[in-house]
Amino acid sequence: MRLLRIRLRDFRGVHDREVHLAESGVTVLEGENEVGKTSTVVALDLLIDFRDDSKAAPVRGAAPAGRDAGPEVEAEFVTGPYHVVYRKRWLRRRLTELHVTGPTTEQLAGREAHDRLLAILDETMDRDLWLALRVEQHTPLGQVDLGGHDALTRALDRAAGGETVGPAVDAAAEGLVERALAEVRRYHGGHGRPVGPLREAGDRVAAARTEADAAAAAVSEVERDVDLRAELDREATGLAEERRAQNARVRELEDRWSALQARQQEVTTSAERAEAARERAGRATERQDARAALVAAAATAEQRAARARETLEGLEAGDQARREDLAERRTEADRALAASDAATAAARTAAAELAAARDRAELADLRGRLRRAETAEEARREAAREAGGPCADAAAVERLEGLDRAVVQAEAELAAGAATVEVTGLGDRTAVAVDGTTREVADGESTTLPVADAVTIDVPGAVRMTVRPGLDGEAARRRVADARTAREQACAALGVADVAAARAASRAAGEAASRVRELAAVVERELGGRPLDDVRGAIATLAERIPAEAAEPAPTRRRGARRPAPDEPGLFEEAGLLDDASGDPEPEDLEPLRLEAVRTLDAADEAHRVARGAEEAWRRLDASVTTAGADVVAARTALAVARSEADRRTGELREARAEYPDDALAAAATDALARARRYEADHEQRAAALEADDPTTVEALYATAKRAVDSLTQRTADVERRRAEVTGRLQVAGGEGRHDRHAAARTELAAAEREHASVSRRAAAAVRLHDTLARRRDEVRRAYVAPFRREVERLARIVFGPSLALEVDPALRIVSRTLNGVTVPFDALSTGAKEQLGLCARLAVAALVDAEDGVPVLIDDALGHSDPGRLERLAAVFGAAAAGSSHQVVVLTCTPARYRGIGANRTVTLNPSYPPPQAVPAADEEPPDTDASDPTSTGSAEFRAG
Amino acid sequence: MRFVHTADWQLGMTRRFLGAGRVGQAVGEAQARFAQARLDAVAALGRVAGDEGAAFVVVCGDVFESNLVGPDVVGRACEALRSVPVPVLLLPGNHDPADASLVTRRADFVRRCPPHVTVLDTPGVHPVAPGVEVVAAPWATKRPLSDLVGDRLRALEPAPEGVVRVLAGHGAVDVLSPDERNPAVIGTAECRAALADGRVHYVALGDRHSTWQLHGEPRIAYSGAPEVTSHEETDPGNVLVVDVGPDGAASVRPVRVGRWAFTREHALADSDDDLAALDARLDALDAPERTALRLAVEGTLTLRQRARLDEITEAHAPVLAALEVDLSGVVTRPDDADVEALGLSGFAADAAQELAAAARDDADPAALDALALLHRLAVTR
């Protein structure tokens, strides 16, 4: 089909517009938004699809807004051999007109026209392809579904060279594949899993087989039980037989065993009798032995008693001799003790004397020390008194010297300020008395004297000159007088005449203080730090302790002692005190006393040692005497015991002999032994006879036979029990209808298997059919995939470059794109690349399809995702697609720049087409071409040759 | 002395081709009717016995299909026995041997068993009426190790004067089943000898479901089953009315009591005419509701003819008690017209051609099925 012309009237926003399209090649319709580009496409669909009496939503949507006019579309096109002008108006003043101008002229209207047109289109045009090659606004320009389009497949079939089989593809055949697949799906899910009837049939077979197996098992269980029961019956019969035979055998053995048991009893009895006789013989022998032992014991006891008597006698003799010796020793010890006591008394006396002498010496020493301390103390107190005088105060003496210096200063000041008298010697040594003081004045020598006060100068003999100071020296003189008065008062306070005396007194006080310290040291040394009263107390204690007679020698010796002279100057006295105790009485000579005491003590020790030795010797002897006495007592006791034992034994023996004399006992023993031997022989004989008849074997046989009977009884009971069990089971099973169940189960299994076979066959048929159909279809498709792919690749290489390769599946879908060796699935490509490939695919189809079969490729504002570089190449694609082909491409765009480079055969700029003002008569519909830019004019298209 | 000789009732038997209920459900409708028919046959032979004035009815083994039939089968069997107006003697056979599970010793049978019924479960002579003795040779196990009938006969002295003796036995006779490995085969020579010297006067046998008499000796006979049990049987559905005297003179007369037919048919199908003839034949079947038909078809058909054949058999199946069609002899060769009739084009036509070729040349059944399916899908388009 080729569109030549489309005219819209009162269609949506378009008042009236006619567009002429290039018969082949690219026509670009460009215009602003809402100018009615898309309406042009919509109008074509309405024209074909909706009858003029339709009030469907798309028809109503095409009515112009706000105006009471029916939308009208007129199209002129060539399709197949037909050249057609077709016009329709809906809603208002409806009409349908069809003018066919070739190959034969037809003129139709109304319903006839509509139907005739559809018939023409069905005859000449692949309408699915027409829709498929269209790219709507705002829909992604992606994969195009091209499978099953008549025109395309015819074209591809031609391209593949497959002419001979006639029309290659039938859309109905495609539907058959779908139906065959649906049939397969009835039986097989994913992965060949059985579903629906096939699965049900399989389940039925499985269930039936399970049931048949169970039923067969139930039946064979009964059959086994029947066999078992027969077996048990046989066994029971055999067992009864066996028991009868075994019972007879038991009875026979029992008789033999009973007889043997009686004899066994006899043997046992004889054995017991022999045993009793052996015991009696043993007892007689024992009594004989006991008698002999008793005789021996009596003799032994008698011997022991005799030995004890001898021992006692020896001991008693030794004891007497030791007692005599003991008395002697006792006397000796007493003597030595007395001598020791005397020596001890002498030693004690000598020690007493020595102690008394020592006390006296100490008393004398203490008394001397006391006396010296008292003297020193006294001297110390005296010196302290001296040291404590007024001049002892060093500060007071200092002050006095200060006052003295003040006097001298005052006098000096007076002299300095006073008039002077110069006395000059005129002759040889003249004596002059100045204020009473005589001095000699040599010739030429002069002395200057200050006249502080009235100075009297006497030249002896000659004159008395009194020089008095004038009034001007009065103040100085009064200050001197005041200073002197103060000095005199201070001297008086100190009790001294003048300053020199004060200095002497101060020095004396210092010396006295040092003496006080020295004397205190003396007292300290003499008393050893003890207060005087302590020393006095010690003296009193000592004096009391010394008895009067012991103190007797002391006065004689004290007479020789030097007595101190009380009138001697104290200085010496004091010196003596400091030196030693020269004033003490002479000490007593203690040495002879000490020697005496030592000697007597030694003698006492010796005497004591001797006495101790004697006593010990006595005591030792005494102890041995005591021990020997105990031995004697023990020996006496032993004798008594031995005697008593000997008597008892003798008595016992006597009594025993009175009862049984020794020879009677011997006869009884011999007799008993003989009887025992007899009985034993009898028993052995019987036992040997019994053993010869082998009672053990008979007993074993008997026991075995009895056990066999028991075992048979047991087995019989067991068989009976099992038989009862089986019988019970059979009774139960008999009423269960197991045969019926088994028969029903087998019938069901056979039916289920038949059904399964039938369903499986149907499923296999479906699979086979689908496989065959699909394989055939794919073969056909593969045949025309190649030319399609070649054409798409040819175009796409312009965009993507020469390395591009595409994979296309039998449904003519692009599977993947390979570029520079990198393969990317179509779905993973960018939107832009998908768009470009989609466009290439459509243009390829258009280029492939036969010119007569072809339909226009309609592209409504696509390629929004392509960059300028690709756009340029896409433009070349349009050109390449057009080359050598006569198909029609219509591009609608609001951005003309996108399609500038495509070399359009015709570019139509669409301008708004508004309705004229009310005043303008609507009949004026076909004005001559006017200025296209005039917005109020009837819309028209401006044609430019592409 | 007249009595009725029958055998092989095999009550409780089912036949697979009569259809199955699902597991746990009651048996199919045809199956139930067949079971009832077998009980009806017992009642019918009872009427025959009454009408003919028979002294008794002896059933020579396999009264029940198994010793393990259900209580319902036993109960209905007892009811059917009750309707027989003369004494009935039941002999255990190989299906219901007198072992520990013997059905006629079961409590449910004993409780319902009518008093005129005797079970011959012990071997030996059973007096049934004055001057009439029945010698029983029952099966004690499923696998006897000797000729039970021969054993019985050898143990007998000639019958006393004026006494009619009938031997009741069960099993295959040597002339029909010359199987040397089977020790239980009944020796006909022994039977003839016993008949000759008057130990017995008639040998009544069971086990064979078709009526049969030993050639030249009508006194050795199988009565056959009173109602058909298998397609293999040649003359089922009868009982034997036997007249026998102490002198050995005997007459044996079969009387039909069965009403069902298990039949085999063979049909040639090579053309549309053949198919029409087959259809007519099936239409003409007598009592189809009591007929289980095994139909073997043979011939070469096109795809359309094959569909027609299927249609014919499917149309008749619900009317018959059972219809088993054996199509192994049918060769289906799709012709070009078959393919063209599909009205296909494009690759679908190619596919149809391919399948047709496979079905025709390789006799590929799956391809034929696929083609048939394609036919269906294309038609319902």
Question: Tens digit of pLDDT for each residue in B57-78?
Answer: 999 999 999 888 888 889 999 9
Given B213, B236, B256, which residue is the final one in a domain?
Answer: B256
Average pLDDT of chain A to the nearest whole number: 79
Greatest alpha-carbon span in chain A: 216
Helix (H), strand (E) at residue A95: strand A95-102
**Which one, of A235, A249, A250, lies nearest residue A716 by Cα?**
A235
Nearest to B101 among A168, A226, A768 (CB): A226
Residue of B nearest to A723 (CA): B100
Domain that holds residue A147: 2-187+778-945
Q: Are residues B180 and B39 in the same domain?
A: yes
Q: Are residues B268 and B244 in the same domain?
A: no
pLDDT of amino acid A127: 73
**Pick the residue with more confidence: A738 or B28?**
A738
Highest averaged pLDDT of the listed ranges A431-435, A597-601, B87-91, B264-268: B87-91
Q: Are residues B175 and B42 in the same domain?
A: yes
A711 touches A250 (CB < 8 A): no
Nearest to B100 among A180, A230, A750 (CB): A230
Q: Which of A306-310, B40-44, B86-90, B148-152 has the lowest mean pLDDT?
A: A306-310
Residue A552: pLDDT band with limits 50, 70, 90: very low
**Cα Rg, chain B, nearest whole Å:** 27
Evaluate if residue B6 carries a pLDDT over 90: yes
Residue A785: pLDDT band with limits 50, 70, 90: confident
Count Cβ atoms within 10 A of the Cβ of residue A708 and give its class: 0-12 exposed, 13-18 middle, 19 or more buried.
middle
| Dist. CA B97–CA B64, nearest whole Å | 10
Contacts of B365 in chain A (CB under 8 A): 761
Which position has the token pair 């110069």?
A422
Highest averaged pLDDT of the listed ranges A453-467, A663-677, B207-221: B207-221
State whether residue B22 sits within 8 Å of chain A by CB. Answer: yes
Which position has the token pair 């002339």?
B175
Q: Flag whether A102 is in a domain.
A: yes
Nearest to B70 among A177, A737, A765 (CB): A737
Q: Are residues B291 and B315 in the same domain?
A: yes
Given B256, B280, B312, which residue is the final one in a domain?
Answer: B256
Residue A562: pLDDT band with limits 50, 70, 90: very low
Helix, strand, coil: what percent of chain B each, to 5?
Answer: 35, 25, 40
CA angle B80, B81, B86 (to 5 degrees): 135
State whether residue B68 sits within 8 Å of chain A by CB. Answer: yes
CATH number at residue A103: 3.40.50.300
Report the pLDDT averaged over residues B122-135: 91
- State residue B206 phi and psi, 5-degree precision: -130, 170
CB contact under 8 A, B99 and A165: no
pLDDT of amino acid B20: 64
A676 touches A281 (CB < 8 A): yes
Nearest to A769 among B16, B21, B370 (CB): B370
Number of domains in chain B: 2
Q: Flag whether A512 is in a domain.
A: no
CB contact under 8 A, B23 and A207: yes
CA angle A529, A530, A532 (to 5 degrees): 125
Report the pLDDT averaged over residues A821-838: 84
Nearest to A750 among B16, B31, B351 (CB): B16
CB contact under 8 A, A750 and B19: no
A20 touches A911 (CB < 8 A): no
What proportion of chain A, given as a percentage, has pLDDT over 70? 86
Token pair of B143, please? 């696998």
The alpha-carbon gap from A174 to the nearest alpha carbon of chain B, in Å, equals 8
CB contact under 8 A, A169 and B366: no
pLDDT of amino acid A474: 75
Helix (H), strand (E) at residue B371: helix B365-379
Q: Which of A92-101, A433-442, A621-630, A670-679 has the lowest mean pLDDT?
A: A433-442
Residues of A numbered 189-208 whose beta carbons fall under 8 angstroms of chain B's beta carbons: which are they?
Answer: 204, 207-208
pLDDT of amino acid B351: 83
Q: Are residues B29 and B167 in the same domain?
A: yes
A779 touches A787 (CB < 8 A): no
Q: How far is CA A262 from CA A257, A271, A694, B118, in A?
A: 9, 15, 14, 64
Report the pLDDT averaged over residues A194-211: 89
State whether residue A554 sits within 8 Å of chain B by CB. Answer: no
The alpha-carbon gap from A180 to the nearest alpha carbon of chain B, in Å, equals 8
Q: Are residues B237 and B274 in the same domain?
A: no
Domain that holds residue B105: 2-256
Q: Flag whether A813 is in a domain.
A: yes
Q: Are residues B247 and B358 in the same domain?
A: no
Tell me the per-residue pLDDT of A135-145, one tens digit each, with 9 for 90 and over.
Answer: 666 565 566 66
**Which one, of A198, A222, A199, A217, lies nearest residue A745 by Cα?**
A217
The beta-carbon contacts of A320-324 under 8 Å, at least 24 apart in sequence, are A322/A621, A322/A624, A322/A625, A322/A628, A323/A625
Token pair of A138, please? 């705002």
Residue A37: pLDDT band with limits 50, 70, 90: confident
Q: Flag whether A721 is in a domain.
A: no
Q: Are residues B59 and B171 in the same domain?
A: yes
CB contact under 8 A, B99 and A226: yes
Strand order in the sheet with A805-808: A805-808, A814-819, A822-825
Which position has the token pair 């005088």?
A389
Given B256, B272, B287, which residue is the final one in a domain?
Answer: B256
Contacts of B370 in chain A (CB under 8 A): 765-766, 768-769, 772
A250 touches A710 (CB < 8 A): no
B/e letters for B11-30, b = 16+ CB within 10 Å, e = fewer, are bbbbbbbbbbbebeeebbeb
**Which residues fall within 8 angstroms of residue A542, CB to CB, at 6 or more apart?**
A359, A362, A363, A366
Count Cβ atoms within 10 A of the Cβ of residue B159 and give its class: 0-12 exposed, 13-18 middle, 19 or more buried.
buried
Neighbours of B125 (CB within 10 A): 15
Q: Are residues B195 and B333 in the same domain?
A: no
Residue of A nearest to B344 (CA): A173
Residue A161: pLDDT band with limits 50, 70, 90: low
DSSP 3-state of B191? helix
Number of domains in chain A: 1
Handedness of CA B300, B302, B304, B310 (dihedral sign): positive
**Which one, of A403, A415, A412, lies nearest residue A488 by Cα?**
A403
Token pair of A458, please? 């006497």
Residue A586: pLDDT band with limits 50, 70, 90: low
Report the pLDDT averaged over residues B303-309: 87
CB contact under 8 A, B348 and A776: yes
CB contact under 8 A, A739 and B12: yes
Tell me the per-residue pLDDT of A747-782, one tens digit each, with 9 for 90 and over.
Answer: 888 888 988 998 998 899 889 888 888 888 777 777
Question: Helices (DSSP H) in A388-451: which residue ranges?
Answer: 394-417
Token pair of B253, please? 């007369």
Which position has the token pair 């009750």?
B82
Interface confidence (ipTM) of the complex:
0.85
**Which residues fall within 8 angstroms of residue A272, CB to CB, at 6 or more apart?**
none
Contacts of A166 in chain B (CB under 8 A): 345
The alpha-carbon gap from A206 to the nearest alpha carbon of chain B, in Å, equals 11
Handedness of CA B90, B94, B99, B105 (dihedral sign): negative
Report the pLDDT averaged over residues A3-22: 87
DSSP 3-state of A802? coil
pLDDT of amino acid B257: 93
Q: Flag whether A329 is in a domain.
A: no
State whether residue B100 sits within 8 Å of chain A by CB. Answer: yes
| Dist. CA A115–CA A118, nearest whole Å | 5
Neighbours of A504 (CB within 10 A): 12
Nearest to A173 among B344, B355, B367 (CB): B344
Q: Flag whether A437 is in a domain.
A: no
Task: Select the residue from A154, A164, A176, A742 to test the B interface by mutation, using most B Cβ atoms within 10 A.
Answer: A176
State whether residue B355 sits within 8 Å of chain A by CB. Answer: yes
Token pair of A465, please? 């000159």
CB contact under 8 A, A170 and B348: yes
Contacts of B142 in chain A (CB under 8 A): 223
Q: Are residues B242 and B283 in the same domain?
A: no
Beta bridge pairs of residue A6: A19, A75
What proportion of chain A, given as a percentage, has pLDDT over 90? 4
Nearest to B68 among A738, A765, A772 (CB): A738
Cα end-to-end span (Å), chain B: 76
Token pair of A494, please? 């100190």
CA angle A134, A136, A141 (to 5 degrees): 80
Contacts of B377 in chain A (CB under 8 A): 176, 179-180, 183, 769
How many Cβ pairs within 8 Å bridge chains A and B? 176
Which position has the token pair 């017995």?
B200
CB contact under 8 A, B348 and A768: no
Q: Flag whether A696 is in a domain.
A: no
Task: Select the residue from B18, B23, B109, B139 to test the A interface by mutation, using most A Cβ atoms within 10 A.
Answer: B23
pLDDT of amino acid A739: 87
**Which one, of A297, A308, A283, lies nearest residue A668 by Cα?**
A283
pLDDT of amino acid B201: 92
| Dist. CA A110–CA A53, nearest whole Å | 10
Which position has the token pair 């539907």?
A175
Q: Are residues B246 and B335 in the same domain?
A: no
Residue of A nearest to B109 (CA): A735
| Dist. CA B237–CA B217, nearest whole Å | 22
Length of chain B measured in residues: 381
Helix (H), strand (E) at residue A765: helix A738-800
| Dist. CA A317–CA A312, nearest whole Å | 9
Between helix A499-527 and helix A196-387 the angle, nearest 10°, is 120
Beta bridge pairs of residue A860: A892
pLDDT of amino acid A852: 65
Token pair of A615, please? 């006593």
Token pair of A619, please? 């005591």
State whether residue B215 sits within 8 Å of chain A by CB. Answer: no
Residue B52: pLDDT band with limits 50, 70, 90: very high
Q: Flag whether A796 is in a domain.
A: yes
Report the pLDDT averaged over residues A659-673: 84
**Pick the residue with more confidence: A220 or A366?**
A220
Pairing between β-strand B261-268 and β-strand A72-79 as defined by DSSP bridges: unpaired
pLDDT of amino acid A185: 87
**Which one, of A944, A934, A925, A930, lies nearest residue A7 by Cα?**
A925
Report the pLDDT averaged over residues A253-272: 87
Report the pLDDT averaged over residues A317-337: 80
Tell me the per-residue pLDDT of A38-68, one tens digit each, with 9 for 90 and over.
Answer: 788 888 888 888 888 888 888 888 888 777 7
Residue A873: pLDDT band with limits 50, 70, 90: confident
pLDDT of amino acid B117: 93
Beta bridge pairs of residue A685: none
Strand order in the sheet with A906-910: A134-135, A857-860, A888-893, A25-31, A906-910, A942-945
**Which one, of B123, B96, B127, B140, lies nearest residue B7 by Cα?**
B96
pLDDT of amino acid A30: 83
CB contact under 8 A, B346 and A170: yes
Q: Are residues B141 and B231 in the same domain?
A: yes
| Dist. CA A501–CA A499, nearest whole Å | 5
Tell me the per-residue pLDDT of B130-164, one tens digit each, with 9 for 90 and over.
Answer: 889 999 999 988 888 899 999 999 998 888 888 99
Evaluate if residue A442 carries a pLDDT over 80: no
